[in-house]
């Protein structure tokens, strides 16, 4: 059956779904299932099928359950394959006959007739998905009154955001700018083939992810510590703003990507491989950027796996680590130095609750420091989510707080 064109991509997508939903892997980890496919298009298709199945999982399951007399078990292979079949038809515009030909072989030795019957029922009835994906109940409860707006921001994968190394570095690119040295392009472009990539004129960085470094201001040769720095987007950003950067991370693999990014863009940084919880700096810093490890639920537009594998246990563990990192980092500032704490999380436990316990002095973010459409919270903190700037293409969810020593 592997000779059927497109079957390999569907087989890889099924493995990715299983890795996320049964083993709790991230999309990045699960993506290894597609790496063995010979064609780039097949690898991209496998990831798209898995991502759209996860993005619309609640609604896909509702359709499946409406067409079966007895609900399929949550972990049944037939349910997983039907999720993929419906996602391809309803989200990726794959013709039904192509869906059947490439997906039913995944159930050889299993309930192929059942899956075929359910899918045929859906196509004959002209089944549709709602305009906005439904969130899992536990997720909607955590996100509270913003849940509906956030869900609306998940209806489509995000555009491509670039951070520019200089004001004129976007030459040859057509896009929309939301702030200085930013450019937003339609999704789907091959990054390596865009003008300026080889010359290091820009790097990929979600617009919300660029806000923490922006809130440190221009460096003017001063020293900044980029904690948990890999893969390096904020390191490059800080260097482009005139900071003398020390980039610290405990992942050798991710630090290698940071070094490659520095080499491509021509920026320099002192790179240190170490665990921040056991590391001691030789001198204090004028500024620190702590983009802390977190559950990354704010990246749900591009990583819909977080909607289904993140729960209270993971949130509590990450929040405790963030609290400890913030306590340590506060001691590494010169008197009057500035620290920005940020997480790409939509959880209050990984944002507001941590910032509210910090012993440093809050340095409130002012409205004029933020791009149009964003405003600080009453505490002077910043909260973004995928429901904001919807007309401009949305943005990831971040919490940002600024302090002084």
Q: Confirm whether 180 is domain-assigned.
A: no
- List the CATH number of the domain containing 310: 3.40.50.150
Token pair listed for 288: 């620190």
Give yes or no: residues 115 and 250 share one domain: no
Q: Confirm whether 159 is domain-assigned.
A: no
Please report the pLDDT score of residue 3 as a whole number: 62
Q: Confirm whether 336 is domain-assigned.
A: yes
CA distance 179 to 164: 11
Would you put residue 93 in left (φ > 0), alpha (ψ -120 to 50) or beta?
Answer: left
Give yes or no: residues 274 and 388 share one domain: yes
Please report the pLDDT score of residue 1 as a whole number: 40
Q: Confirm whether 44 is domain-assigned.
A: yes
Token pair listed for 168: 């004129």
Give yes or no: residues 87 and 214 share one domain: no
Give yes or no: residues 102 and 218 share one domain: no
Domain boundary among 125, 151, 180: 125
CB atoms within 10 A of CB 200: 17
Name the DSSP letter for residue 136.
P
Give yes or no: residues 245 and 391 share one domain: yes
- List the CATH number of the domain containing 77: 1.10.940.10
Q: Confirm whether 191 is domain-assigned.
A: no
Chain centroid, CA 354 distance in Å: 21
Give yes or no: residues 99 and 224 share one domain: no
Give yes or no: residues 270 and 372 share one domain: yes
Please report the pLDDT score of residue 32 as a whole number: 87
Task: Just list the catalytic residues.
Answer: 344
Give yes or no: residues 217 and 84 share one domain: no
CB atoms within 10 A of CB 315: 19
Q: Confirm whether 71 is domain-assigned.
A: yes
- Block means of pLDDT (10 residues each) for the chain, 405 residues, are 76 96 93 87 93 98 94 94 98 96 92 95 96 97 95 92 92 91 88 92 96 97 96 96 97 95 96 96 97 97 96 97 97 97 98 96 97 94 96 95 97
Please report the pLDDT score of residue 2 as a whole number: 45
Token pair listed for 45: 């298709």
Q: Confirm whether 266 is domain-assigned.
A: yes
Give yes or no: residues 119 and 217 share one domain: no
Helices (H), 27-160: 27-30, 40-55, 57-66, 77-91, 96-103, 112-125, 137-143, 147-152
Q: Which structural domain range is residue 107 located in?
A: 7-125
Instruction: Please answer whether residues 20 and 305 qualify as being in contact, where contact means their C-beta atoms are separated by less than 8 angstroms.
Output: yes
Count of domains for the chain: 2
Q: Confirm whether 318 is domain-assigned.
A: yes
Q: Is 401 helix (H, G, I), strand (E, B) or coil?
A: strand
Q: Give the long-range contacts of residues 277-285, CB within 8 A, separation 24 or more.
A: 277/324, 277/325, 277/328, 279/248, 281/225, 281/246, 281/332, 283/223, 284/332, 284/333, 284/334, 284/337, 285/223, 285/224, 285/225, 285/246, 285/332, 285/333, 285/334, 285/337
Give yes or no: residues 389 and 241 share one domain: yes
Domain boundary among 75, 97, 125: 125
Domain boundary among 125, 143, 166: 125
Give yes or no: residues 279 and 384 share one domain: yes
Instruction: Please answer whether residues 218 and 238 qualify as being in contact, where contact means their C-beta atoms are separated by less than 8 angstroms.
Output: no
């Amino acid at each position: 059956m592997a000779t059927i064109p497109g079957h390999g991509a569907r087989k890889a997508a099924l493995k990715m779904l299983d890795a996320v939903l049964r083993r709790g892997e991230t999309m990045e980890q699960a993506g290894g299932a597609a790496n063995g496919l010979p064609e780039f298009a097949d690898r991209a298709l496998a990831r798209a099928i898995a991502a759209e199945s996860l993005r619309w999982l609640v609604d896909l399951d509702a359709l499946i359950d409406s067409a079966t007399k007895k609900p399929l078990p949550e972990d049944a292979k037939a349910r997983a394959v039907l999720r993929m079949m419906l996602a391809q038809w309803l989200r990726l515009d794959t013709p039904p006959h192509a869906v059947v030909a490439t997906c039913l072989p995944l159930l050889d030795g299993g309930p192929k007739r059942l899956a075929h019957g359910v899918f045929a029922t859906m196509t004959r009835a002209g089944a549709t998905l709602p305009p906005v994906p439904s969130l899992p109940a536990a997720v909607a409860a955590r996100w509270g009154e913003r849940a509906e707006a956030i869900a609306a921001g998940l209806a489509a994968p995000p555009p491509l955001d670039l951070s520019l190394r200089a004001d004129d570095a976007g030459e040859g690119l057509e896009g929309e700018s939301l702030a200085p040295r930013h450019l937003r392009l339609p999704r789907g472009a091959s990054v390596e083939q865009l003008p300026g990539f080889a010359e290091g004129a820009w790097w990929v960085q979600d617009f919300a992810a660029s806000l923490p470094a922006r809130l440190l201001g221009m460096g003017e040769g001063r020293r900044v510590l980029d904690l948990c720095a890999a893969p390096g987007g904020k390191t490059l950003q800080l260097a482009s703003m005139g900071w003398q950067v020390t980039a610290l991370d405990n992942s050798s693999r991710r630090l290698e990507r940071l070094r490659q990014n520095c080499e491509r863009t021509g920026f320099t940084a002192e790179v240190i491989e170490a665990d921040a919880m056991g590391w001691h700096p030789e001198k204090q810093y004028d500024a620190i950027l702590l983009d802390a490890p977190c559950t990354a639920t704010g990246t749900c537009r591009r990583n819909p796996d977080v909607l289904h594998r993140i729960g209270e246990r993971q949130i509590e563990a990450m929040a405790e680590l963030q609290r400890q990192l913030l306590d340590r980092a506060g001691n590494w500032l010169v008197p009057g130095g500035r620290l920005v704490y940020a997480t790409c999380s939509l959880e209050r436990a990984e944002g507001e609750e941590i910032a509210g316990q910090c012993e440093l002095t809050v340095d409130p973010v002012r409205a004029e420091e933020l791009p149009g459409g964003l405003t600080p919270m009453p505490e002077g903190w910043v909260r973004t989510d995928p429901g904001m700037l919807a007309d401009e293409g949305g943005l990831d969810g971040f919490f940002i707080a600024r302090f002084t020593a």
